[in-house]
Amino acid sequence: MSNDQTVPYGSDVSAGTYECVDCGYQLSNESKTSLPPCPNPDNKLHTENSWKILSGQGDAKEDPYPDR
């Protein structure tokens, strides 16, 4: 069991920070009311097509990816 909460593309959400389950891309959703597809579909094979909710869960980790 994990605390991670994921929502599929297109889900209705509130503003917050989301991380692509498949590639780790972080999305700051300031104003949208539904989630877009990951903008990096070619970066890695996407099989989950979901976002992990980072904000509002109380245990947002440091970004584990030394990404740009």
Residues interacting with Zn ion, by CB under 5 A?
A: 20, 22-23, 25, 38, 40
CB of 32 to Zn ion, least distance (A): 16
What phi, psi does 8 have (nearest 5°)? -75, 160
Contact 53, 7 (CB under 8 A): yes
Shortest Å distance, C-beta 19 to Zn ion: 9
Place of tokens 């094979």: 45
22 or 54: CB nearest Zn ion:
22
**Distance in angstroms (rounded) separating the CA atoms of residues 52 and 63:** 13
CB of 38 to Zn ion, least distance (A): 3
